[in-house]
Amino acid sequence: MVRANGVVAMSVKTRIVAGLAHCDVAVIGAGPYGLSAGVHLRAKGMAVRVFGEPMEFWAHKMPEGMLLRSPRVASSLSDPDRAFTLESYEAASRKEPCAPLPLDTFVEYGRWFRHQLGSDLDQRAVVRVDRDQPGFRLTLQDGEEVHATYVVVATGIGPFKKKPAVFQNLSPQQAIHCYEVRNVRQYVGKRVAVIGGGQSALESAALLHEASAQVEVIVRESHLRWIGQHSWLHHMGPISSMLYSSHDVGPVGISRLVAYPKLVSYVPLKLRDKIRKRAVRPAGARWLPERLSAVKITAGHTVSQATAFGDEVALTLDDGSERRVDHIVLGTGYRVDISRYDFLPQELTQDIKQFDGYPRLGSGFRSSVSGLHFIGATAARSFGPLLYFVAGTEFASRELVSHLPKTR
Ligand SMILES: Cc1cc2nc3c(=O)[nH]c(=O)nc-3n(C[C@H](O)[C@H](O)[C@H](O)COP(=O)(O)OP(=O)(O)OC[C@H]3O[C@@H](n4cnc5c(N)ncnc54)[C@H](O)[C@@H]3O)c2cc1C
């Protein structure tokens, strides 16, 4: 059944259990992870429903004009036959392959990919998940309830934005996270301080500068780092393949280990955390330095005070120097904390064993609540940093599917 507004309301495979529409697996989130997992589960013959607007985070939260940092080979979603890769999309839509990949192309690719799910995609958001033995009861945004034997949480990092304490008193317009700076043109002529030295901060700075904002980047580290600084190491044929995986997550050696999330999951937690942090430490893509050459970079300093004066913000840095700006763009990353997923009630999250906000996951991404699974960034503490990236969709989907038994 498809409603007039385009919302798919009920899959052909849906059956009724205890008065509710039932599916074997409910996947919450239709980003790269949820879409890939849904396609794999469907191919296994399971009755699956994927909830959410396809590619919403990429289409509405990331800055217009952004380029993907991940290489093309690490930017395909996953399907069992590898028939719906980025290249297949480009061939089907007669698009010239290009690198780095523009955001719009990636969003269009994801929306093309999602058609494999047909009526198993339901664009409504899930507002609550409750246990309903056996399985779960999901409440959707319009109040409809659905029953599922398994729930896979694939809702990304949207709610996990970090706003350092020093900026807490500023309004959302004055201190805005860089995931929310969708339209850089609204900052034309404005004085903007960008905080952070990672890809999101540096790319936002470049885009703001190109949109004629007056930008200064303030970064705690003593210097900016760039990904692929030792580019010759990537051009040594078979030797390079031994040093780096094609996903290109992490430095020499670590990159190879990270490509095997199952292996990473056996590494003791302390070492696993070190590997994870090293693999994703703040750095900008190699195509950014040139675009930032005219942008003021203040490295080795932090903001110790930020005070609003009407529409202006006065910043004091740890060296005592001062700035007056109109806006602060926070490229200060995110902190995974599943209790911030508002669709998971406390009764449920308190039973999920965690490592400081990340669920502790076993084989098949299962959490300590039977039938509840997590994929994507929330799985990175268990399976390593590949799960922060699109490249992890292949492992995640196959691992998940191989551990979910068919329920009928
Ligand atoms: C600025 C920026 C640049 C990045 N660049 C890259 C890159 O170049 N390459 C790369 O591999 N990774 C990149 N990443 C990381 C990227 O976020 C992940 O790779 C990717 O989005 C993970 O996919 P996902 O499906 O887990 O999450 P998302 O893409 O965030 O998808 C989760 C979806 O769940 C939906 N959702 C949330 N709550 C609900 C609900 N209650 N009901 C229904 N739906 C819900 C959201 O709308 C969202 O669309 C970047 C991240 C940022 C912030």
CA separation (Å) from 190 to 217, 313, 327, 397?
Answer: 14, 12, 8, 44
Q: What are phi and psi of 398, to 5 degrees?
A: -70, -40
pLDDT above 90 as % of the chain = 84
68 C-beta closer than 6 A to ligand 1: yes
User: Which of 8, 27, 57 most suits a substitution to test ligand 1, by most atoms within 8 Å of the C-beta?
Assistant: 57
371 C-beta closer than 6 A to ligand 1: no
pLDDT tens digits for range 217-234: 999 999 999 987 666 666
Mean pLDDT (whole number) for 312-340: 97
Is the bond leading into 100 cis (omega within 30 degrees of zero)? yes
Closest residue CA from atom 18 of ligand 1: 389
Say if residue 63's pLDDT is above 70. Answer: yes
pLDDT above 70 as % of the chain = 92
70 C-beta closer than 6 A to ligand 1: yes
More confident call, 179 vs 151: 151
Mean pLDDT over each residue of the chain, to the nearest integer: 92
Encoding tokens for residue 108?
């269009």
| Dist CA 283 CA 196 (whole Å) | 10
pLDDT tens digits for range 356-378: 999 999 999 999 999 999 999 99
The pLDDT-based confidence of 211 (bands split at 50, 70, 90) is very high
29 alpha carbon to ligand 1 midpoint, in Å?
A: 9
Mean pLDDT (whole number) for 371-396: 98
Check if the beta carbon of residue 401 is closer than 8 Å to that of residue 41: yes
Closest residue CA from atom 29 of ligand 1: 31
| Dist CA 188 CA 327 (whole Å) | 12
pLDDT of res. 401: 97
CA separation (Å) from 373 to 196, 198, 331, 345, 352?
Answer: 32, 29, 29, 15, 10
Say if residue 337's pLDDT is above 90. Answer: yes
Nearest to 129 by CA among 370, 398, 373, 348: 348
Check if the beta carbon of residue 229 is closer than 8 Å to that of residue 371: no
pLDDT of res. 9: 39
122 C-beta closer than 6 A to ligand 1: no
Half-sphere exposure of 97 (CA within 13 A, CB side): 12
pLDDT of res. 239: 67
SS3 of residue 245 by DSSP: coil
For residue 118, count other CB atoms closer than 10 A to its CB: 11
For residue 172, count other CB atoms closer than 10 A to its CB: 9
Beta-strand runs (E) in 95-205: 121-122, 126-131, 136-140, 145-153, 175-177, 191-195
Give me the amino acid identity at 274: K
Q: pTM of the prediction? A: 0.94
Mean pLDDT (whole number) for 338-363: 97
pLDDT of res. 96: 95
pLDDT tens digits for range 244-263: 777 778 777 788 899 999 99
Tell the residue number behind the tokens 């990304």, with chain if given.
Answer: 156
Is the bond leading into 134 cis (omega within 30 degrees of zero)? yes
Mean pLDDT (whole number) for 236-243: 69
User: Which of 53, 56, 153 most suits a substitution to test ligand 1, by most atoms within 8 Å of the C-beta?
Assistant: 56
Check if the beta carbon of residue 131 is closer than 8 Å to that of residue 348: yes
| Dist CA 188 CA 182 (whole Å) | 14
| Dist CA 33 CA 387 (whole Å) | 9
pLDDT tens digits for range 396-407: 999 999 999 876
Nearest to 152 by CA among 239, 45, 34, 263: 34
pLDDT tens digits for range 105-124: 999 999 999 999 999 999 99
Question: Could you tell me which residues come within 8 angstroms of residue 237 by beta carbon, excluding any fewer than 6 positions away?
Answer: none
pLDDT of res. 230: 67
Tell the residue number behind the tokens 């498809």, with chain if given.
Answer: 2
CA-based diameter of the chain, in Å?
Answer: 67
Give the β-pairing of 121-122 and 327-330.
unpaired
